[in-house]
Chains A and B, each alone.
Chain A
Amino acid sequence: MASVSEMYDVGWEEMRDKLRKWREENCRNSEQIVDVGEELISEHASKLGDDIWIIYEQVMIAALDCSRDDLALTCLQELEKQFSDSHRVKRLSGMRLEALERYDEANKDYDAILQDDPTNTAARKRKISILKAQGKSAEAIRELNEYLEMTHPQLYQSTYCFPCHFHSYGKAAFCLEELMMTNPHNHLYCEQYAEVKYTQGGLENLELSRKYFAQALRLNNRNMRALFGLYMSASHIAASPKVSAKVKKDNMKYAAWAATQINRAYKLAGRGTKENKCSMKAVEEMLESMQITMS
Chain B
Amino acid sequence: MGEVELSCRAYVKMYLHCCLFPRCSINGLLLSSSTAGDAVCVTDCVPLLHSHLSLAPITQLALTQVDVWCSQTQQRIVGYYQANACVSDSSPTPCALKIADKISEQFENAVLLMLDGSKMSADYRVPPIVMYERKDSRWTLKDKHTIMLRQWEETRAIAGQMLDSGDHSLLVDFDSHLDDITKDWTNQKLNNKIAELASPANGSM
Q: Which A residues lie at the B interface, using CB under 8 A?
A: 28, 65, 132-133, 135, 161, 164-165, 167, 192, 194-196, 198-199, 201, 209, 224-225, 228-229, 232-233, 265-266, 269, 273, 275-276, 278-279, 281-283, 285-286, 289-290
Contacts and interface: CB of A to CB of B under 8 A. Distances in A.
A283 B185 CA distance: 12
A228 B61 contact: yes
A273 B181 CA distance: 11
A257 B179 CA distance: 21
Interface-centre pick from B23, B73, B186 (highest chain A CB count, 10 A): B186
Contacts of B54: 164-165, 167, 199
Given A199-B55, A232-B60, A279 B177 contact: yes
Given A279-B186, A286-B64, A228 B89 contact: no
A281 B72 CA distance: 9
Contacts of A135: 86, 88-89
B182 A278 contact: no
B94 interface: yes
B86 A133 contact: yes
Contacts, number: 92
Nearest to A285: B68
Contacts of B182: 269, 273, 275-276
B37 interface: no
A224 B181 contact: yes
Contacts of B88: 133, 135
B121 to A, nearest CB: 10
Contacts of A269: 181-182
Contacts of B73: 278
B134 interface: no
Contact of A224 (B89, B178, B184, B185): B178
B52 A279 contact: no
B184 A275 contact: yes
B166 to A, nearest CB: 10
Nearest to A191: B57
Given A195-B52, A228-B61, A279 B178 contact: no
A28 B177 CA distance: 21
B58 A225 contact: yes
A225 B68 CA distance: 19
Contacts of B89: 135
Given A232-B60, A279-B185, 19 more contacts: A132-B86, A133-B86, A165-B25, A165-B54, A167-B54, A198-B56, A199-B56, A201-B56, A228-B178, A233-B57, A269-B181, A275-B183, A275-B184, A275-B189, A278-B186, A279-B186, A282-B66, A285-B68, A286-B68
